[in-house]
Structure 1
């Protein structure tokens, strides 16, 4: 499965390792993703979502139903 947040769309970025001698090699910056389960009270079911930690904070602030509605998921 791809390393992409299902809410914010954050994904792996590429860049360069730069040594003291200014040698450059390719590298990847991975997002901080966690798999988390949320209970949706209106449907009465649990949903497992792969999220970035920023998305988890947004869900804690707004609520799972408001965030899913903003993304476009119909409950």
Structure 2
């Protein structure tokens, strides 16, 4: 019997992305699943959805 509960945290990574439309770098803390989403859709699309 486990007496202590383990805290499960998301797999966060610090990653820099280049946005060519704005000609700047953006540093984001994204999860591994979020990183796959950005690779699939593109940083510009994800940034517009988030309102960045």
Same fold (TM over 0.5): yes
Alignment of 1:39-58 (within 5 A): 39-58=18-37
TM value normalised by structure 2 = 0.89
Unaligned runs of 5+ in 2: none
Unaligned runs of 5+ in 1: 1-21
Q: 2:16 maps to what in 1?
A: 37
Separation in 2, partners of 1:72, 1:43: 14
Q: Aligned residues, how many?
A: 52
Higher fraction of strand: 1
TM value normalised by structure 1 = 0.64
* Runs ≥4 residues deviating over 3 A: none
Rg larger for: 1
